[in-house]
Amino acid sequence: MTPPANDETNGVDNTISALNDSKEYKHYDYSMVNPRNYDDITKVVQSIIAQVGEDKAKSDIVQGHAGKLIFGTIHGKKVICQAGRFHPYEHKMDLALCAMPIRVMDQLGVRTLIVTNAAGGVNKSFHYGDLMLIKDQIFLPGLAGFSPLVGEHDKRYGGPRFVSMHECFDKDLRVLTKDIANRMSMRLMEGVYVMSGGPQYETPAEVRLYHAVGADALGMSTCHEVVVAKQCLMKVNHLEVIDAANKQGGKGVDLISALVKELPPPMSKQETAKLWGY
Ligand SMILES: O=P(O)(O)O[C@@H]1C[C@H](O)[C@@H](CO)O1
Ligand SMILES: Nc1nc2[nH]cnc2c(=O)[nH]1
């Protein structure tokens, strides 16, 4: 995938019209953003229907991030996997552009999104390589005006202008994930993720600041994707690996695979809109 040179609206339109030529790309219910461990993704996806985008070898912007959309099935469920993501620090802090793949997934029918990332630990009880389920987020660039929703509200994509970020990580999916991790005897932490703009890492004083405001892990991605998913009325579940993506990737994908197997049927937009009081 290469981010389009034009704005995010044209990017969505162009991508959808390119994909619409083929029935293979239609009607997906679930989606997974899994930036690293491309090989792990391809192990989890049991049948690959199609792939679009650049080869892993051609993606040199952030190490380990491929640039592909993979269309396939996991335990019989049709899933789009985004292997690699656009980080705001790579794209002049254009957060709408970086979240554009979520709008593409929305247009292809996706109703449940599983997001993963790698992050640094802030919570002192976390160990290198732990998995954390995100229960809430602190979107620092968003608080400073770098939101993917600034600018014109494009009604073609539906969803509210003012998006509620309460319960942005679906409670039922979190309960299910914890239950599955428990059954698999996996250590799974839960906490709050804070996103900075990066790409510099934090000073010790900044880590203390994040700790003081209740963060458990920190990174440079994801929050803008979650905001757009919420506007698209998707249910979101989010797992991250504390600073050891390669070491623990296998464990994470085992959990994701088991989760996808047990995911409840997706809710329609109308149902989530009603549930969330829109
Ligand atoms: O896409 P993610 O958030 O997993 O990428 C990680 C976090 C930073 O963006 C970058 C530096 O560690 O990699
Ligand atoms: N901001 C930030 N992002 C990360 N991604 C992986 N580790 C880190 C970290 O320590 N800080």
SS3 assignment for 220-256 = CCCHHHHHHHHHCCCEEEEEEEECCHHHHHHHHHHHH
In this structure, the residue with its CA closest to atom 5 of ligand 2 is: 119
What is residue 189's predicted lDDT score, i.e. its pLDDT?
Answer: 95
Q: Could you list the residue range(s) of the whole structural domain that residue 206 is in?
A: 9-151+163-265
196 Cα to the center of ligand 2, angstroms: 9
* Atom number in ligand 1 closest to CA 87: 9
Is residue 101 in contact with ligand 1, taking CB distance under 6 Å?
A: no
Residue 220 within any structural domain of the chain: yes
Ligand nearest to the CA of 84: 1
Determine which helix (DSSP H) or strand (DSSP E) holds 194, and give its type and residue range. Answer: strand 188-195
pLDDT in tens, 47-105: 888 877 765 544 445 555 667 888 999 999 999 998 888 899 999 999 999 999 999 99
- How buried is 176 (Cβ within 10 angstroms: 0-12 exposed, 13-18 middle, 19+ buried)? middle
Domain assignment present for residue 270? The answer is no
198 CB under 6 A from ligand 2?
yes
Q: Give me the number of domains the chain comprises.
A: 1
Pocket test for ligand 2, best of 134, 138, 201 (most atoms within 8 A of CB): 201
- Could you tell me if residue 180 is inside a domain? yes
4 domain-assigned: no
Question: Tens digits of per-residue pLDDT, 78-89?
Answer: 999 988 888 999
Is residue 2, in this structure, part of any structural domain at all? no
Q: Is 40 in the pocket of ligand 2 (CB under 6 A)?
A: no
Does the beta carbon of 117 lie inside 6 Å of ligand 2? no
Predicted ipTM of the assembly = 0.94
Question: Residue 242 is part of a domain; what is its CATH number?
Answer: 3.40.50.1580
